[in-house]
Protein backbone atom coordinates (compact mmCIF):
# COMPACT_ATOMS: atom_id res chain seq x y z
CA UNK A 1 0.00 0.00 0.00
CA UNK A 2 1.60 3.25 -1.17
CA UNK A 3 -0.18 6.31 0.15
CA UNK A 4 0.06 9.94 -0.88
CA UNK A 5 2.82 12.17 0.46
CA UNK A 6 0.39 13.58 3.06
CA UNK A 7 -0.63 10.14 4.28
CA UNK A 8 3.01 9.10 4.60
CA UNK A 9 3.72 12.25 6.65
CA UNK A 10 0.78 11.38 8.94
CA UNK A 11 1.93 7.77 9.44
CA UNK A 12 5.51 8.82 10.17
CA UNK A 13 4.33 11.44 12.70
CA UNK A 14 2.05 8.90 14.42
CA UNK A 15 4.89 6.36 14.73
CA UNK A 16 7.23 8.95 16.20
CA UNK A 17 4.70 10.16 18.79
CA UNK A 18 3.80 6.52 19.48
CA UNK A 19 7.37 5.69 20.47
CA UNK A 20 7.40 8.47 23.05
CA UNK A 21 3.97 7.45 24.43
CA UNK A 22 4.93 3.77 24.74
CA UNK A 23 7.94 4.76 26.86
CA UNK A 24 5.72 6.94 29.04
CA UNK A 25 3.10 4.19 29.29
CA UNK A 26 5.65 1.76 30.77
CA UNK A 27 6.42 4.41 33.36
CA UNK A 28 2.70 4.88 34.14
CA UNK A 29 2.30 1.16 34.80
CA UNK A 30 5.01 1.49 37.47
CA UNK A 31 3.32 4.57 38.95
CA UNK A 32 0.04 2.74 39.62
CA UNK A 33 1.21 1.71 43.08
CA UNK A 34 2.34 5.16 44.20
CA UNK A 35 0.07 7.31 46.35
CA UNK A 36 0.61 10.41 44.23
CA UNK A 37 -0.75 8.61 41.17
CA UNK A 38 0.06 9.23 37.56
CA UNK A 39 -2.21 12.18 36.62
CA UNK A 40 0.43 14.92 36.17
CA UNK A 41 2.77 12.53 34.46
CA UNK A 42 0.08 11.55 31.91
CA UNK A 43 -0.76 15.21 31.18
CA UNK A 44 2.92 15.74 30.37
CA UNK A 45 2.98 12.62 28.17
CA UNK A 46 -0.06 13.93 26.28
CA UNK A 47 1.54 17.35 25.75
CA UNK A 48 4.85 15.80 24.66
CA UNK A 49 3.07 13.64 22.09
CA UNK A 50 1.25 16.69 20.74
CA UNK A 51 4.55 18.56 20.49
CA UNK A 52 6.07 15.70 18.46
CA UNK A 53 3.04 15.58 16.15
CA UNK A 54 2.98 19.33 15.64
CA UNK A 55 6.70 19.45 14.85
CA UNK A 56 6.35 16.64 12.29
CA UNK A 57 3.07 17.69 10.65
CA UNK A 58 3.56 21.47 10.63
CA UNK A 59 7.23 21.02 9.74
CA UNK A 60 6.19 19.14 6.61
CA UNK A 61 3.16 21.32 5.80
CA UNK A 62 3.73 24.73 7.42
CA UNK A 63 0.81 26.43 5.61
CA UNK A 64 -1.91 24.09 6.93
CA UNK A 65 -4.23 24.99 9.81
CA UNK A 66 -4.16 23.10 13.12
CA UNK A 67 -6.87 21.86 15.49
CA UNK A 68 -5.84 19.70 18.45
CA UNK A 69 -7.08 18.71 21.87
CA UNK A 70 -4.33 20.38 23.89
CA UNK A 71 -3.09 23.15 21.62
CA UNK A 72 -6.40 24.57 20.40
CA UNK A 73 -7.01 25.99 16.95
CA UNK A 74 -4.71 27.89 14.59
CA UNK A 75 -5.58 29.30 11.20
CA UNK A 76 -3.17 28.33 8.43
CA UNK A 77 -1.99 30.41 5.48
CA UNK A 78 -3.84 27.82 3.41
CA UNK A 79 -7.43 28.22 4.66
CA UNK A 80 -8.62 25.09 2.82
CA UNK A 81 -6.52 22.53 4.70
CA UNK A 82 -6.01 21.70 8.35
CA UNK A 83 -4.72 18.92 10.57
CA UNK A 84 -7.16 17.64 13.23
CA UNK A 85 -5.19 15.85 15.92
CA UNK A 86 -5.72 13.96 19.17
CA UNK A 87 -2.29 13.03 20.59
CA UNK A 88 -3.80 10.60 23.12
CA UNK A 89 -7.34 9.31 22.73
CA UNK A 90 -8.12 7.10 25.71
CA UNK A 91 -6.28 9.15 28.34
CA UNK A 92 -8.16 7.49 31.21
CA UNK A 93 -7.09 4.05 29.98
CA UNK A 94 -3.49 5.27 29.67
CA UNK A 95 -3.65 6.71 33.18
CA UNK A 96 -4.85 3.36 34.59
CA UNK A 97 -2.26 1.28 32.78
CA UNK A 98 -4.81 -0.17 30.32
CA UNK A 99 -3.20 -0.77 26.90
CA UNK A 100 -6.07 0.62 24.83
CA UNK A 101 -5.40 4.16 23.58
CA UNK A 102 -4.45 5.76 20.29
CA UNK A 103 -3.08 8.69 18.34
CA UNK A 104 -5.57 10.15 15.88
CA UNK A 105 -4.62 12.38 12.93
CA UNK A 106 -7.03 13.61 10.24
CA UNK A 107 -6.51 15.88 7.26
CA UNK A 108 -9.41 18.14 6.33
CA UNK A 109 -9.66 19.77 2.90
CA UNK A 110 -12.42 22.28 2.15
CA UNK A 111 -14.53 20.98 5.06
CA UNK A 112 -14.17 17.30 4.05
CA UNK A 113 -12.01 14.75 5.87
CA UNK A 114 -9.77 13.35 3.11
CA UNK A 115 -7.32 11.19 5.10
CA UNK A 116 -7.15 9.64 8.55
CA UNK A 117 -4.67 7.72 10.69
CA UNK A 118 -5.48 5.99 14.00
CA UNK A 119 -2.40 4.40 15.56
CA UNK A 120 -2.51 2.02 18.53
CA UNK A 121 1.16 1.87 19.62
CA UNK A 122 0.58 -0.66 22.42
CA UNK A 123 -0.59 -3.27 19.87
CA UNK A 124 1.37 -1.82 16.91
CA UNK A 125 -1.81 -1.47 14.84
CA UNK A 126 -1.80 1.38 12.33
CA UNK A 127 -5.24 2.02 10.82
CA UNK A 128 -5.31 4.46 7.90
CA UNK A 129 -7.37 5.55 4.92
CA UNK A 130 -7.50 8.09 2.18
CA UNK A 131 -10.65 9.18 0.38
CA UNK A 132 -11.14 6.91 -2.61
CA UNK A 133 -8.17 4.63 -1.82
CA UNK A 134 -9.61 2.13 0.68
CA UNK A 135 -8.79 1.51 4.34
CA UNK A 136 -5.89 -0.46 5.77
CA UNK A 137 -4.43 -1.80 8.98
CA UNK A 138 -0.67 -2.24 8.64
CA UNK A 139 -0.42 -4.31 5.42
CA UNK A 140 -4.02 -5.62 5.37
CA UNK A 141 -7.00 -4.17 3.56
CA UNK A 142 -9.90 -3.42 5.93
CA UNK A 143 -13.55 -4.34 5.42
CA UNK A 144 -16.48 -3.76 7.74
CA UNK A 145 -18.13 -6.93 9.06
CA UNK A 146 -20.53 -8.96 6.95
CA UNK A 147 -23.01 -9.69 9.74
CA UNK A 148 -26.61 -9.21 8.70
CA UNK A 149 -28.52 -9.79 11.94
CA UNK A 150 -28.67 -7.36 14.84
CA UNK A 151 -28.90 -10.24 17.33
CA UNK A 152 -25.46 -11.50 16.18
CA UNK A 153 -23.85 -8.04 16.19
CA UNK A 154 -21.84 -6.19 18.83
CA UNK A 155 -21.72 -2.42 19.10
CA UNK A 156 -19.46 0.14 20.74
CA UNK A 157 -20.21 3.47 22.40
CA UNK A 158 -18.97 5.79 25.11
CA UNK A 159 -20.88 6.12 28.36
CA UNK A 160 -21.26 9.55 29.99
CA UNK A 161 -19.34 9.86 33.26
CA UNK A 162 -18.58 12.46 35.90
CA UNK A 163 -22.06 13.98 36.01
CA UNK A 164 -22.49 14.63 32.28
CA UNK A 165 -26.05 15.59 31.35
CA UNK A 166 -26.43 13.13 28.45
CA UNK A 167 -26.60 10.04 30.69
CA UNK A 168 -30.44 9.63 30.50
CA UNK A 169 -30.30 9.72 26.69
CA UNK A 170 -27.56 7.09 26.56
CA UNK A 171 -29.42 4.83 29.01
CA UNK A 172 -32.47 5.04 26.73
CA UNK A 173 -30.25 4.06 23.76
CA UNK A 174 -28.99 1.04 25.71
CA UNK A 175 -32.53 0.13 26.76
CA UNK A 176 -33.56 -0.10 23.10
CA UNK A 177 -30.35 -1.69 21.78
CA UNK A 178 -29.30 -4.30 24.36
CA UNK A 179 -32.39 -6.54 23.97
CA UNK A 180 -31.86 -6.84 20.19
CA UNK A 181 -28.07 -7.30 19.88
CA UNK A 182 -25.22 -9.58 21.00
CA UNK A 183 -23.62 -6.97 23.26
CA UNK A 184 -22.31 -3.44 23.73
CA UNK A 185 -18.70 -2.57 24.55
CA UNK A 186 -17.34 0.57 26.17
CA UNK A 187 -13.57 0.53 25.75
CA UNK A 188 -12.80 4.18 26.27
CA UNK A 189 -11.37 5.36 22.93
CA UNK A 190 -13.74 6.62 20.22
CA UNK A 191 -10.91 6.65 17.64
CA UNK A 192 -10.27 2.92 18.21
CA UNK A 193 -14.01 2.17 18.32
CA UNK A 194 -14.27 3.57 14.78
CA UNK A 195 -11.12 1.76 13.64
CA UNK A 196 -12.59 -1.49 15.02
CA UNK A 197 -15.83 -0.98 13.05
CA UNK A 198 -13.67 -0.56 9.92
CA UNK A 199 -11.83 -3.78 10.78
CA UNK A 200 -15.08 -5.72 11.30
CA UNK A 201 -14.35 -6.27 15.01
CA UNK A 202 -17.39 -4.24 15.99
CA UNK A 203 -20.47 -4.19 13.79
CA UNK A 204 -21.37 -0.59 14.62
CA UNK A 205 -20.66 2.44 16.83
CA UNK A 206 -22.61 5.46 18.02
CA UNK A 207 -21.88 8.34 20.35
CA UNK A 208 -22.89 11.95 21.06
CA UNK A 209 -20.94 14.98 22.25
CA UNK A 210 -17.59 13.96 20.79
CA UNK A 211 -14.89 16.44 19.81
CA UNK A 212 -13.76 16.81 16.17
CA UNK A 213 -10.41 15.16 16.99
CA UNK A 214 -12.16 12.10 18.50
CA UNK A 215 -13.88 11.09 15.30
CA UNK A 216 -12.42 12.88 12.24
CA UNK A 217 -9.78 10.26 11.38
CA UNK A 218 -11.93 7.26 12.33
CA UNK A 219 -14.91 8.25 10.21
CA UNK A 220 -12.97 8.32 6.93
CA UNK A 221 -11.44 4.93 7.81
CA UNK A 222 -14.95 3.45 8.35
CA UNK A 223 -16.26 4.94 5.08
CA UNK A 224 -13.28 3.62 3.11
CA UNK A 225 -13.79 0.16 4.66
CA UNK A 226 -17.33 0.12 3.24
CA UNK A 227 -19.26 1.31 6.30
CA UNK A 228 -22.11 3.80 6.37
CA UNK A 229 -21.58 6.89 8.54
CA UNK A 230 -24.21 9.48 9.47
CA UNK A 231 -24.95 11.99 12.23
CA UNK A 232 -27.54 10.71 14.75
CA UNK A 233 -29.90 13.61 13.97
CA UNK A 234 -30.23 13.83 10.18
CA UNK A 235 -29.82 17.62 10.20
CA UNK A 236 -26.62 17.57 12.30
CA UNK A 237 -23.00 17.74 11.16
CA UNK A 238 -20.80 14.86 12.31
CA UNK A 239 -17.57 16.77 12.96
CA UNK A 240 -19.27 20.06 13.91
CA UNK A 241 -21.86 18.56 16.29
CA UNK A 242 -19.76 15.61 17.48
CA UNK A 243 -22.37 12.91 16.97
CA UNK A 244 -22.12 9.78 14.88
CA UNK A 245 -23.78 6.48 14.08
CA UNK A 246 -22.05 3.98 11.80
CA UNK A 247 -22.28 0.31 10.85
CA UNK A 248 -21.97 -2.09 7.96
CA UNK A 249 -24.52 -1.59 5.18
CA UNK A 250 -26.62 -4.68 6.01
CA UNK A 251 -27.56 -3.58 9.53
CA UNK A 252 -27.12 0.19 9.32
CA UNK A 253 -30.79 1.09 8.79
CA UNK A 254 -32.04 -1.06 11.68
CA UNK A 255 -29.22 0.00 14.00
CA UNK A 256 -29.61 3.73 13.24
CA UNK A 257 -33.37 3.46 13.72
CA UNK A 258 -32.85 1.77 17.11
CA UNK A 259 -30.48 4.55 18.25
CA UNK A 260 -32.65 7.36 16.92
CA UNK A 261 -35.61 5.87 18.80
Return mean pLDDT, the chain: 94
pLDDT tens, position by position, 149-181: 999 999 999 999 888 888 999 999 999 999 999
Where does the pLDDT of residue 34 fall: very low under 50, low under 70, confident under 90, or very high at 90 and above? low
Q: Which of 158, 236, 156, 257 is nearest to 198 (CA)?
A: 156
pLDDT tens, position by position, 202-253: 999 999 999 999 999 999 999 999 999 999 999 999 999 999 999 999 999 9
Q: What is the pTM of this model?
A: 0.95
Hey, which residues does 206 pair with through a beta bridge?
245
Give the architecture-level CATH label for domain 150-260. 3-Layer(aba) Sandwich (3.40)
* One CATH from 3.40.50.300, 3.90.420.10, 3.30.540.10, 3.40.50.720 for 5-141: 3.30.540.10
pLDDT tens, position by position, 132-141: 999 999 999 9
* Domain boundary assignment for the chain: 5-141, 150-260
Least confident of 21-30, 45-54, 174-183: 21-30
pLDDT score of 154: 98
- Percent of the chain having pLDDT more than 90? 86
Residue 1 has pLDDT above 60, yes or no: no
CA 237-195-226 angle, to 5 degrees, is 75
Q: Average of pLDDT values for 123-140? A: 97
Amino acid sequence: MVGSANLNIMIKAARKAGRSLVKDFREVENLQVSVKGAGDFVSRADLNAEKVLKTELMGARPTYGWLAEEGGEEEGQDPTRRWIVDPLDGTTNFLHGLPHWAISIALEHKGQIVAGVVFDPAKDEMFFAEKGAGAWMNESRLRVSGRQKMIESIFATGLPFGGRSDLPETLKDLGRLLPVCAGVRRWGSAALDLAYVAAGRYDGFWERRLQPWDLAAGMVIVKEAGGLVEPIRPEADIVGNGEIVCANEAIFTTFAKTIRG
